[in-house]
Amino acid sequence: MIQFAWPWAFLLLPLPYLIYRLTPKVEQREDSALWVPSLHPFAVAKTGHSAPPQKRWQLIIVILCWLLLVISCARPQWLGNPVELPISGRDLMLAVDLSGSMKAEDFELGGNTVDRLTALKAVAATFIERRQGDRIGLILFGDKPYIQVPLTFDYITVNQLLDEAFIGLAGEKTAIGDAIGLAIKRLKKQPGKQKVLILLTDGANTAGAITPEKGAELAQQAGLKIYTIGIGSDAMEVGSFIFKRIVNPSSELDETMLKYLAETTGGKYFRAHDTKELVQIYAQLDKMEPTEKEKKVYRPISSLYFWPLGLALLICCGLVASKMIRRRP
């Protein structure tokens, strides 16, 4: 359907007529008259007050141009079909560990051995892109947690800033409790929404003022659901070409603590030994039920003002051109 953004502009329609009726007529000067001895050469067959057909058509064209200009000023718009916006009512915060232990190269990506953070970035990018309807924020933590991206619908920026993060950016240690506290601080300002924290780490809490247990208690009180992901394989071959040995690169991973965080807040604990399992974990997180919320409807609007404006300009150009042609000797 068509609507007008500024319908009050139609009040301008009678403006030319009002100017014509209310402004004083221009008095004809006496010296502009043509004095002749007789009116016989100027006699016409018929007398009357009606305007010549040519003048009448010019008047109609001028009125049409004015009508088109007023319609253009009223800003006609085309309202498209209603589009339902995918709003889930969920605020989701990603907390990513950037401590020194994330340097361990026990993941594979595209047939190449990569460190844990590189694998995490590659898998998380797809997960973030599919979060239509969710607001996403990003916390990076090491010795201390930092808000890298506040809650936003701009998934491109979230992915870009996650991709630019590097190991050691926030320190070498792991402040898991402080990261939970920062997430609570950011999410508690959004009452009535489902609040979710996805915590990704490969170690234990080794820094910070808040213990993970205290963070879990505060998260439960704030209604924050925590999903924890423990990253790292259980076995990795290290050593030279001749002498090699198998080590456990995830020996420092505190799974008991991560399970406690998830169970206390109503979330779930996941274990990612390799890239394939990390992909599967994100697929499960993708199916989290959103909070029921009133649906929002959006109707796309397309401006149409340039059509009557262009037509009026075209008619005016044609009128001026016809006058110039008639005046040629």
Quick one: 141 exposed, middle or buried, by C-beta within 10 A (0-12, 13-18, 19+)? buried
Question: What's the one-letter identity of residue 90?
Answer: R
DSSP 223: T
- Residue 41 corresponds to which tokens in the numbers above? 């050469």
Q: Which CATH architecture has domain 86-285?
A: 3-Layer(aba) Sandwich (3.40)
- Check residue 289 and give its pLDDT: 47
Instruction: Supply the DSSP string of 233-295, one letter for each residue.
Output: -S-EEEE-SS-EEEE-TTTT--HHHHHHHHHHHT--EEEESSHHHHHHHHHHHTTPPPPP---
Q: If we measure between CA atoms, which residue out of 295, 118, 285, 127 comes closest to residue 197?
A: 285
- Check residue 28 and give its pLDDT: 52
CA dist 238 and 245 (Å) reads: 6
Count other C-beta atoms under 10 Å from residue 173's C-beta: 17
- Check residue 291 and give its pLDDT: 44
What are the Cα distances from residue 323, in Å, to 66, 93, 312, 318? 19, 70, 17, 9
Residues in the chain predicted with pLDDT less than 50, given as ranges, are 45-47, 289, 291-292
- Residue 325 corresponds to which tokens in the numbers above? 């042609």
Quick one: 2 exposed, middle or buried, by C-beta within 10 A (0-12, 13-18, 19+)? exposed
- Check residue 237 and give its pLDDT: 62
Question: What's the one-letter identity of residue 112?
Answer: N
Instruction: Supply the DSSP string of 156-171, one letter for each residue.
Output: HHHHHHHHH--TTTT-
- Check residue 108 and give its pLDDT: 78
Structural element, H or E, at residue 135: strand 134-141
CA dist 177 and 254 (Å) reads: 13
For 141, phi then psi, to 5°, come to -140, 150
CA dist 210 and 191 (Å) reads: 24
pTM of the model: 0.59
Quick one: 315 exposed, middle or buried, by C-beta within 10 A (0-12, 13-18, 19+)? middle
CA angle 204–208–213, rounded 5-degree value: 60
CA dist 260 and 212 (Å) reads: 9
Count other C-beta atoms under 10 Å from residue 38's C-beta: 7
